[in-house]
A and B are shown apart, each in its own frame.
Chain A
Amino acid sequence: MSEITTVAFSGTKEQEEQLMKAIAEHKGQDGALIPVLHEAQNIYGYLPIEVQKIISDELGVSMAEIYGVVTFYTQFTTNPKGKYNIAVCLGTACYVKGSGTLLDKIKEKLGIDVGECTPDGKYSVEATRCIGACGLAPVLTVNEDVYGRLTPDDIDGILAKYN
């Protein structure tokens, strides 16, 4: 999670304007860094070094400190996510019901590991903590869509929907 991504940064003017607005809203507030990082990640989808630099300059917080915070929290990522982000719940309830085998199957199908993105930028895979849908265990989500009560045999069908 902490590696610098190899994908070139391609932020737009609009994104930068949004970021500046978010920074202005929080500047001067106690403990402003984490709320700003949340907003920045909402705007860009991830937190590349270029974005961290802007935040550092504007908030007057050192790059070392920002990088330390970004890499400490699992929600923050320095890697872009795929068009379809597949998140497999590895909370206890899902794990006991076999979500580990779902994750294995997805990794095998896509040929990538947790935290990675397929080279075409289409799919990324992550293992999440409990998303609270324990009644549907085991559960995975593709972007906003939730799939529950799964077996490894359902994986092909789900991936086929996102082409």
Chain B
Amino acid sequence: MDFARAHVLVCGGTGCTSSGSVKLIEEFEKRLAENDLEKEVKIIKTGCFGLCALGPVVVIYPEGAFYSMVKVEDVEEIVKEHLLKGRIVKRLLYQETLENDNVKSLNEVDFYKKQRRIALRNCGVIDPENIEEYIGTDGYQAFGKALTEMTPEGVIEEIKKSGLRGRGGAGFPTGLKWMFTANANGENGKFVACNADEGDPGAFMDRSILEGDPHAVIEAMAIAAYAVGADQGYIYIRAEYPIAVQRLKIAIEQAKEYGLLGDNIFGTDFCFNLEIRLGAGAFVCGEETALMTSIEGFRGEPRPRPPFPANKGLWQKPTLLNNVETYANITQIILNGADWFTSIGTEKSKGTKVFALGGKIKNTGLVEIPMGTTLREIVEEIGGGIPNGKKFKAAQTGGPSGGCIPASLIDTAIDYDSLIAIGSMMGSGGLIVMDEDTCMVDIAKFFLEFTVDESCGKCTPCRVGTKRMLEILDRITKGNGTLADIDKLEELAEGIKSTALCGLGQTAPNPVLSTLRYFRDEYIAHVVDKKCPAGVCKALLSYKIDPEKCKGCSLCARQCPVNAISGEIKSPFTIDTAKCIKCGACESSCKFNAISKQ
């Protein structure tokens, strides 16, 4: 085996690939060859480091220098200075790692300090396309331990004791699910399946785990199959995640080659095979019964429960279905024991949770925090706060099934139960931060548009009910709503919640209910005052010229497509609001910031 004196880790996650990391790798290869360094320095394409806002990210070991927003033009300097002469290029470092001109460890940086990486432990650390790197970080040891030292019942007992709950959003105890499937009659076969149909817009932790550490999921599925008595597994993954699909395919092939998948694994009687099934862009397929209908090759419509998948799942056979992040915790629980896992987190929510931090926040990216961390710690410390000096208004968790947490509840310690209590939910882990420029009625409408679009149409409350709710919201945002509309909205929401067939429909009204609960005054402002306080809803805006600031240059009048602005040169201009179409061309053209919307 070759030993390199330095390792260049380039992030190959979707975020950094989108910002050009593939070109960086090519440039590094070229420059290293020019300097005869290709034998001494190894380039590794890793999974996601988490700090997507600063992509593309390059980390060079042994120093652990964290370079951010690296451009192709910077590569030559890094090679010549850092790799050839041993001088870190401070100009290109993530500036948070610099303190008084000294480079400090990444773990001391605010973004990483409060994180605890269990599910993401290998992301950004190993080459996901090389099984040996995974094995080098204790990979497949948990599987070996389970298979040769533990009984299936022993494995299930350990998972039950760990208190692990489903990371897909609902938080059902994982050990119980395993036990139900193990107890089901499996004479015609059983299946294990992995839900990688991450449909919540704004959540990408499952993708990052599959891209950065695919073997962790494969190993956990094999352990699960052993525990429940299955011999065939399916990973149902979104077709929109090409990099993750590719790495999974490579990982499955490598695991087969190494005898970690297939027949008589580790010389035992245990056999397990794994197949990938691609989703085709239907949000409802994240619901467990719909997912299975889709794997079977049909329209992905949910089925009534019971029977639960543990008894009648894929092709009517007992099926264990867990989410990617849930699986990513399994190997560590088996290796380190349930007691270790229960030492992390809160009383009823053990371990960590990965959140995709997005929206109006400085450090957009992926963070893994112990359960019980407060929203304030996530937003202000890890996330680095709101950019442009704006104020925090709300955080949205749980995607289209969740709700908005207002600023007054920012000190809530996050776990499954606390989020439900305040009208939101954990969900798969999207955490979108909103500032004062976000209109809460518009956000509720945005999520409802999503659910209306994604409703499969099987049950009436969801198919018709959400549509009626959207129509009401549309009226309100256009200034045509009445106070009675708000009551109607609430009534419909409660009705849909209690009567829809599946999780999608039952949770679809949540964004509306939670914004009504915490931001009712905004709804009332839209209905009664015909104003959008955040200045988002176009129909309720009016543009005004501040006569104090206006120099009378006429630029805005010339930009206006409908000739709504008039005035005399060198004296303040005015806007005829009856003619104005609110396109905003005047505002962006004004050089004196004299035009504002109200």
Contacts and interface: CB of A to CB of B under 8 A. Distances in A.
B554 interface: no
A73 B293 CA distance: 13
Nearest to A61: B297
A102 interface: no
Interface string A103-145: 0000000000000000000000000111111111101000000
A68 B458 CA distance: 13
Interface stretch (B167-175, B200-208, B407-415): B200-208
B298 interface: yes
Contacts of A132: 14-15, 204, 207, 240-241
A32 B588 CA distance: 53
Contact of B19 (A31, A90, A130, A136): A136
B281 A129 contact: yes
A11 interface: no
B358 A69 contact: no
A128 B240 CA distance: 10
Given A74-B282, A135-B15, A135-B55, A93 B432 contact: yes
Given A92-B396, A135-B365, A38 B15 contact: no
Interface in A139-159: 139, 146, 148, 153
Contacts of B207: 132
B456 A96 contact: no
Interface in A67-112: 68-69, 72-76, 90-93, 95-97
Given A129-B281, A131-B14, A137-B358, A91 B295 contact: no
A73 B281 contact: yes
Contact of A95 (B15, B283, B446): B446
Contacts of A96: 358-360, 432, 434, 438, 443
A148 B18 contact: yes
Contacts of B71: none
A90 B201 contact: yes
A10 B278 CA distance: 27
Interface string B280-312: 111100000000001111111000000000000
Contacts of B438: 96
Given A130-B204, A134-B364, A137-B364, A92 B278 contact: no
Interface in A22-41: 30-35, 37-38
A148 B19 contact: yes
B4 to A, nearest CB: 29
Contacts of B51: 135
Contact of A31 (B297, B434, B456): B297
A34 B294 CA distance: 8
Contacts of A92: 201-202, 358-359, 396, 399, 430, 432, 446-447
A75 B52 contact: no
B18 A129 contact: no
A120 to B, nearest CB: 26
Contacts of A97: 359-360
Contact of A38 (B54, B200, B239, B432): B239
Contacts of A31: 277, 295-297
B358 A74 contact: no
A92 B398 CA distance: 11
A75 B281 CA distance: 5
A72 B282 contact: yes
Nearest to B276: A35
A135 B14 CA distance: 10
A69 B443 CA distance: 31
Residue in A65, A72, A128, A132 with the greatest tally of chain B CB atoms within 10 Å: A132
Nearest to B360: A96
A146 to B, nearest CB: 4
Given A92-B202, A93-B202, A132-B204, A34 B297 contact: yes
A134 B297 contact: no
Given A73-B279, A146-B19, 18 more contacts: A30-B315, A31-B295, A33-B297, A34-B294, A68-B299, A72-B300, A72-B456, A75-B239, A93-B202, A93-B364, A96-B432, A130-B203, A132-B15, A134-B356, A134-B364, A135-B54, A135-B365, A148-B19
6 contacts: A35-B278, A38-B280, A72-B299, A73-B279, A137-B359, A153-B588
Interface of A: 30-35, 37-38, 65, 68-69, 72-76, 90-93, 95-97, 128-137, 139, 146, 148, 153
